[in-house]
Amino acid sequence: MAITTDIQTNATGDAGRPTPSTTTLPLARAINAGLRRALEQDDRVMLMGEDIGRLGGVFRVTDGLQAQFGTQRVVDSPLAESGILGTAIGLAMAGYRPVVEIQFDGFVFPAFDQITTQLAKLHYRSQGRVRVPVVIRIPYGGHIGAIEHHSESPEALFAHTAGLRIVSPATAQDGYTMIQQAIASPDPVIFLEPKSRYWEKGAVELDAEPSGDLHRARTVRAGRDATLVAYGPSVATSLAAAQAAAEEGRELEVIDLRSVAPLDLDSVVASVERTGRLIVVHEAPTAHGVGAEIAAAVAERCFYRLQAPVLRVGGFHTPYPASAIESDYLPSLDRILDAVDRAFAA
């Protein structure tokens, strides 16, 4: 699988001194660059996963890293997700910073026990004496024409477990920056990569030091009439819906959560207090999901500022469908705009 790379670099400023180099990269290559930088800067960082070395990963996110850093730091593991996670936990307890790749979202379930009963709880169980800085990279979500086990969104299953941090980049810059912040975190981080956005390009500042709060949401489009909250693959769909709504005279504010756990509820509440309406968009089923948590929290904190019930747009409470009806299952521009209409009709 070839990855197109289009690099445009600004090397020097007017005074001849280097300025932060801005490069145009697809999300997959931006994550690759972030992993490379982490490997260069910290000898404790190592990568593990099925086919991540010679092949470069099923989506080529780790392409070239084994050739540069060797087989002891970029490890092709057996086909055994529970074993990979168990090994990573032991390495983290010994002082390493393992980064594990799960090939597809649905393949993480054999390792669910290691993640939720061991990785998430060791710091608490040891009364703070043991740190387990493991990053689990998971390509997730739909839009690629695959079936269940290849297109799922398991974030709510992990968000319900205390001790895990769960983040998802929506842009190339966030892919580059957030993977480095996740590796630097002293806590276990599940890093959800929207596979449908792997090949979308964006500007990336390769020289910039990762800064800011990994778990802080950002407003990607300002608006006054309603708030759309999304993360990962749904951010681009929400932006498209906001653009379409603007042509009909409605200004929608779009917030990229960036972090599912912990949630930056302060940013969401501040927006809802201005707009009075909230629609939460994600690909995972709405039943018992992240959107339900946000809806409950917003109802608690700004009930009297809401002009309409909080609405959710997401997947249905079914196994992930066949590719022929995938577009009916996933949040679309039309389904988001329909929710906006219902919010204004309330």
Residue 301 neighbours by CB under 8 Å, 6+ apart:
265, 269
Q: Helix, strand, coil shares of the chain as percentages rounded to 5?
A: 40, 20, 40
Distance of alpha carbon 170 from alpha carbon 263, whole angstroms: 16
> In Å, how far are 28, 198, 214, 215, 300 from 262, measured between CA atoms?
24, 24, 10, 7, 17
Catalytic machinery residues: 150
Angle made by CA atoms 26, 30, 34, in degrees to the nearest 5: 175
Distance of alpha carbon 333 from alpha carbon 324, whole angstroms: 18
**In this structure, how many other beta carbons lie within 10 angstroms of the beta carbon of residue 305?**
14
Distance of alpha carbon 83 from alpha carbon 78, whole angstroms: 8
Structure tokens, 330: 């996933």
Q: For residue 24, give the H/E element and its range.
A: strand 22-26
Contact 179, 34 (CB under 8 A): yes
Q: Can you list the positions of beta strands (E) in 188-334?
A: 189-194, 201-205, 218-221, 226-230, 252-256, 259-261, 278-285, 311-315
- Exposed/middle/buried for 53, CB within 10 Å: 0-12, 13-18, 19+? buried
Residue corresponding to tokens 């590796």: 183
